[in-house]
Amino acid sequence: MKRRIILLALAVVSAIGCTLAIWNVTRPYQPAQQTVFMAVQGLDAFSRVSPAGFRQTKSLDPPPGAVSILPEGSVLRVPLVRGAVLLENHLAQESAVSSEVAARLSLQAGERLVGVPVTGDTSLGGMVAVGDRVDVVATYDGRLTGLAHSSTVAEYLLVAAVRNRYGSSTDTAQPRIGGADSPVPAVVVVILPKEAVESLVLALSQAASVHLVICPKHEAATARVRSHQGGGR
């Protein structure tokens, strides 16, 4: 009796195995689906890639070069229409993204870009570079107050870009101003809170000269502009 039960069980297992094997061979081919990312709205060139701009979905026939992992923080080199699948060649190489484009993209709500006019010899001989933290020191000649003096009008501002007198970016691996002791005028673009813009612009407009002072990047400090009421004070 036991032998019959064992033989019956073996027959059942064998039948099930044969059935599964036949089903596996005869079932329709199902190609693997690939994860892709589709734009949920129109996106401009130089936009940053973020989860808010793309929807993850599956595709049986993705276009060549479709990315399967969202490259958050990368920059689009071309505009995308709504529903477009994100491809590798839609993305700009980081080396091709200028400091000026990066500066615009990095602005947060409540921040502004402001230009500080300097020359090579008022910016440490051209040492000031993108990514530096700087203090802005203005010198007043006394025409307004009768007393010549210097004053730190802003502290620990982040340098976002550097431009020369011709309006072009000095974008290199580490953009800088002219050469040592260069009198060529330039503009150092800094990021600061929007409520401090008017005070800084007023202080700069009344200064006879403006010097930049490089700060340690690891210094525990907050960017700020000192209140300026006019008259070089």
Q: What is the pLDDT of residues 58-83, one digit of tens each?
A: 998 899 999 999 998 788 888 899 99
Q: In the chain, pLDDT over 70 holds for what percent of residues?
A: 66
Q: Considering only CA atoms, which of 102, 104, 114 is closest in space to residue 189? A: 114
Most confident of 12-21, 107-116, 150-159, 162-171: 150-159
The pTM of the full predicted model, rounded to 2 decimals, is 0.54
pLDDT greater at residue 20 or residue 171: 20
- Checking if the pLDDT of 142 tops 70, the result is yes
Burial 108-143 (b: 16+ CB within 10 A, else e): eeeeebbebebbbbbbbbbebbbebbbbbbbebeee
Q: Which residues contact 178 (CB under 8 A, 6 or more apart)?
A: 119, 120, 126, 164, 170, 184, 186
Q: How far is CA 172 from CA 18, 120, 123, 184, 213, in A?
A: 68, 17, 18, 18, 21
- Average pLDDT estimate for 19-25: 59
- Checking if the pLDDT of 199 tops 50, the result is yes
Give the CATH number of domain 30-94; options: 3.40.50.740, 3.40.50.2020, 3.40.50.300, 3.90.1210.10: 3.90.1210.10
Which pLDDT score is estimated for 11? 61
Q: Where are the domains of the chain?
A: 30-94, 99-225
pLDDT greater at residue 7 or residue 143: 143
State how far the Cα of 203 lies from the Cα of 114, in Å rounded to an integer: 13
When pLDDT is cut at 50, 70 and 90, the band that residue 1 belongs to is: low
pLDDT greater at residue 78 or residue 11: 78
pLDDT greater at residue 111 or residue 176: 111
Which pLDDT score is estimated for 29? 53
